[in-house]
Amino acid sequence: MRFAGHAKIWYVIVSIAMTILGIVMVVHPSVTIDMLCIVTGIVLLVGGIVKIANFASHSSPAFRFDIVAGVVLCVIGLLFLLIPQTMASILGIVFGVFIFVEGAFRIRTALDARWFGLRLWWLILTAAVFMMLCGVFIALFPFSAESVLITFLGILLIIDGVQNLFNAIYTTKMKP
């Protein structure tokens, strides 16, 4: 149980970091793409490690997709750190796919929350569908202006970070 408590704390910390990164991107969209790639790589790598730890520390079916999401986040995070120039050229597509996949996994979390009898499961579902739609939009129509892309991605990171925080607090109350 102690490991699970640490994993939840790290999950909350990463969620807050994502939210702060999103706020910085919205407030200062002129941040360089290289800096964005490095910070994104670090946040994704740490987030992936936390998701893998979350999976390892919970027996609840609500966390069964964390291993897949964790590995994907680690791989993408490493790519952002190792080849930032290449990743910058496909940033919109990568973020779009990431946001879509996160939303897809959250649909399962919402359905699990419903199955466990949590009343606010539909909020998780609504946010998940919204994230999936935004992911498709970003992947299909990457913005040509860097500042518009950074601002939009910042808004999505804020939403994703807040939703992660909500999920960490709300869904950990579930009992298998």
Residue range 11-45, pLDDT digits in tens? 788 888 888 888 988 888 776 677 778 888 998 89
Model confidence at 126, pLDDT cuts 50, 70, 90, reads: very high
Count of structural domains, the chain = 1
Percent of the residues in the chain that have a pLDDT greater than 70, as a whole number: 84
Instruction: Give dist(CA 123, CA 4) in Å, integer.
Output: 24
Model confidence at 132, pLDDT cuts 50, 70, 90, reads: very high
Enclosing domain of residue 64: 2-173
34 token code pair: 């290289």
pTM reported for the whole predicted model: 0.57
Which pLDDT does position 82 carry in this prediction?
93
Q: Which residue has the higher pLDDT, 40 or 61?
A: 40
CA-atom Rg of the chain in angstroms:
16
